[in-house]
Structure 1
Amino acid sequence: MRTTRLYVRLLGAHLRALLEHEADFWIMAVATVLTQVVNIVFLTALFAKVPALNGWTFWDMMLMFGVVALAEGVGSFFFEGMWRLAEQINMGELDYFLVRPYPVALQSSSAQVGINGLSNMVVGGIMIGTAVAHVDIPWSAWTVPLAVVMLLSAVVIKVSINLATNAASFWLSSPTPLLALSVHQIGDLARFPLSIYPFVIKAALGVLVPFAFVTFFPIAFLRGTGAVPWIGLLTPLVAAYCAAAATVIFKRGLLRYESAGN
């Protein structure tokens, strides 16, 4: 509880600092909303020509886009600081974190707040709610809580992959998170059904970097479609694995940290 309370206070301090510049706040918020609007326009234009994408309808795709937007929003708003990890390593800022009685990974993650994440969470939630009302999912007393668990697991997977790839900066000399940015771009492929891709991409998104468990496998399970829809049940286990792997990678990387010299 103490750790959670401190984390919220750190985020609150950065949020108050951002709100000192109200114009910047609203410009960023509106720009993020417009980005999601562009995604919706893209889907509308796509399905105006194609009735279904390998069996996935417009509302199915809207649900996938909404889940990605929500997961990215949570990662940006609550854990934006991890994208500064490469800079923190190169500038020696981790020296301050190491002497404080608070987990280094959480200090790094809470070092910045992504205002765009707030807009993504709101718009993503609206997209999910609207899509769920149109997607043919056989809801029951146990599928509703299972869907919530899968959604939370999707967020954990997304955030854990971000942390793990940014932690690679401990081994790389670049002051920018090039690997993390590249993997993040690959994650955009998870907005579309895994079944439309060739085998190599399926293996990469399903096993190597399991972005498919953010959207495709959980939604395919809820819809009861796909070659092996039961794979979606593994989403919480994949989330636990990703979180554990990211923690181990960060701790191993932290052992390599030698400050920045003078």
Structure 2
Amino acid sequence: MREAAILTRVYLRMLGAYLRAVLEYRTDALLLVLATVLTQVAGVVFLLVVFTQVPTLGGWTRWEVMCVYAMVVLAEGIGSLFFEGSWHLAAFVNLGVLDYLLVRPYPVVLQVMGATLGPNGLGGAVLGIGLLVAAAPRIEVDWDPISVGWALLLLGSGVVVKVAINLASNSTAFWLLSPSSSSAATIHTLGDLARYPITVYSFGVRAVLTIVPLAFVGYFPVANLLGKGVSGTIGAFTPVVAAGCALGAWAYFRRGLRRYESSGS
């Protein structure tokens, strides 16, 4: 327990150091946050326009879809804000930066994930929380203390799933040896489909979003809260999936790290 507290404190100090560096250019940081918010708001406006034409989307009402959208946006925002460093792993491998991280007395995976901070994630996190606060009273869920606690667990599990997928997809850099994370970017783009109920897609797309498993970031957790049949039952396993994703991503990163070779310069 004490070791975990120390690791967390050091991690937050790393992020704090990078935040101070970012705030040296406050206008740039503010513009980045605003650009992110505007992009996400455009997605919300798109949904509102869609629901002016149809009463439901794949069997989901407007505010139910908003919950799914909000959970994905929130997970992406938290991932960017606190774990943005994983997106720089390809450059670290290609340039040999990992040489410096390997000799430090701190877990390499945490050094990588905390190497930078994404100020754009703040906009996504705030918007996601705002949408959830607005949608929660408008969906058919009895918000007693138990359901609130379970909802928070599902929300946290969705965040873990998203962060783990980002780490695992970026860890392919150990094998591809490319200065850019093209495979990770592809999976991240695929995650945009998970912002909506997967019932609107064909069987093939639903299968991909379940196997990857991006649908456990928002769709399955919300389906569980709403008690939507089989999807709701599957959503009950979101914490288990999150634990599996975290362990799998960590193991995949460790395997890649074992085959890492210095840049030689």
On the 8 A contact 1:138/1:222 being kept in 2, the answer is: no
Number of aligned residues: 261
* Partner residue, 2:105: 101
- Asked if 1:256 is matched to 2:259, the reply is yes
Aligned residue in 2 for 1:39: 43
The within-5 A match list for 1:1-262 is 1-207=5-211, 209-262=212-265
- Paired AA for residue 203 in structure 1: A
Q: Distance in 1 between matches of 2:232 and 2:63?
A: 19
The answer on whether the counterparts of 1:79 and 1:112 sit within 8 Å (CA) in structure 2 is: yes
**How many angstroms does 1:2 deviate by?**
1.2
Does the residue aligned with 1:133 lie in a helix, a strand or coil? helix
CA distance in 2, matches of 1:65, 1:80: 21
Range that drifts further, 218-227 or 106-115: 218-227
* Partner Cα distance (1:5, 1:189) in 2: 35
CA separation in 1, counterparts of 2:231 and 2:261? 47
Q: Distance in 1 between matches of 2:59 and 2:92?
A: 45
Distance in 2 (alpha carbons) for counterparts of 1:228 and 1:181:
27
**TM-score, normalised relative to structure 2:** 0.96
- Listed as ranges, the gaps of 5+ residues in structure 2 are none
Shift of 1:228: 4.3
**Structure 2 counterpart of 1:155, one-letter code:** V
TM-score, scaled to structure 1: 0.97
Tell me, yes or no, if the aligned pair for 1:89 and 1:170 is still in contact at 8 Å.
Answer: yes
Identity %: 49
CA deviations on 1:61-102 (whole Å, 9 max, x unpaired) are 111111111100111010111100000000000000000000
Deviates more, 1:95-104 or 1:20-29: 20-29
Give me the whole-angstrom Cα distance separating, in 1, the residues matched to 2:80 and 2:37: 14
Residue type of the alignment partner of 1:110: G
Q: Which amino acid aligns with 2:241?
A: V
**Aligned equivalents of 1:139, 1:225: Cα separation in 2:** 17
Per-residue CA deviation, residues 24-60 of structure 1 (Å, 9 max, x unaligned), is 0111111111112111110111111111112111111
Aligned-residue CA RMSD (Å)? 1.0
